[in-house]
Structure 1
């Protein structure tokens, strides 16, 4: 009698070799207005310090403008402004997280970057509705890490204008 073997959580790469999804359940965490947030690491390209932002007219107030990143023009969004939080002067800890969603790169200005956290799906709870509308739509869930809770953001919804 043949045994049925369960398949490991491996995927096939472009060459047909099995690979493990090493980015699954990993989130880049950052601090914003006294709260911990996270965004799926699969969207993160790099983290850079704050730099000169060129303002562009007729943009939403949360889009601060564009930066020139190694010859590529990238729009930059202030996540505080996106959430309707009070502004804060940028300092040496302020960072721009460059993310790529649907082949579009965007910079996200955050107060400071914390770490890459492993948050398995069984430690993610659905976000309770606050009734505040739009901000809720950016939240993918609430990740439990030890005794802390990280607000996990849906990058696609966050970047939709």
Structure 2
């Protein structure tokens, strides 16, 4: 008798590369951040509000001795923040760049994507022109399209302009 496990083929392992992006859902749309700038992914937890903060800043949280601001991904990208996400799937993606960390609350984590530079198209015309536009471009994926994000602009880090 043969084991059913021995007859199954293992799924190929895809290694992360410099061109790897972590995809996530926001208001039913797919976005992605460069994996090299993703520090970790955490479950959503209670935050400390910051009085007078920008409308998209949900609050701050302690992360291993550091204070990390956490932004609402929907609000930051101008998406509908009324549509409910499954609370069990909501995560905070910790984005890291130049020693700074910023959390981004997302509706759900997706897969790693590995677009070739030639496959990245410019952001669609007709988006509201704004100086801090964080969408670098779009790429075709199995689920449709993913908008690729510029982390410094998304997080409003100094020197992002």
TM-score range, shorter chain: 0.7 to 0.9
Shift of 1:155: 0.6
Native 8 Å contact 2:47 2:58 kept in 1 = yes
**Equivalent in the alignment of 1:95:** 91
Partner of 1:112: 108
- Could you say if the C-alpha distance between residues 136 and 54 of structure 1 is closer, same or farther in structure 2, counting changes exceeding 3 Å? closer
**Counterpart of 1:43?**
37
- Rate the CA distance shift 1:147–1:29 in 2: closer, same or farther, 3 A: closer
Q: How far is the alpha carbon of 1:135 from its aligned partner?
A: 8.4
Are 2:87 and 1:85 aligned? Answer: no
Distance 2:74 2:156 in 1: 16
Which residue of structure 1 lines up, in the alignment, with residue 3 of structure 2? none
Q: 2:47 aligns with which of 53, 59, 70?
A: 53
Q: How many residues align?
A: 140
Q: Which of residues 105, 126, 139 in structure 1 aligns to 2:135?
A: 139
What is the TM-score normalised by the length of structure 1? 0.80
Which one has the bigger strand percentage? 1
Cα deviation for residue 128 of structure 1 reads 2.2
Give the TM-score taking structure 2 as reference length.
0.80
The secondary structure found in structure 1 opposite 2:81 is coil
Note the aligned Cα RMSD (angstroms).
Answer: 1.9
> Is 2:20 the counterpart of 1:26?
yes
The separation in 1 between residues aligned to 2:127 and 2:21, in whole angstroms, is 26
Distance in 2 (alpha carbons) for counterparts of 1:135 and 1:118: 28
Secondary structure of 1:134's aligned partner: coil
Q: Is the 8 A contact 2:136 2:150 kept in 1?
A: yes
Secondary structure, aligned partner of 2:80: coil
Tell me, which stretches of 5 or more residues in structure 2 are unaligned? 1-15
What are the Cα deviations for residues 41-87 of structure 1, in whole angstroms up to 9, with x where unaligned?
Answer: 11000000000100011110100110111221100000101122222
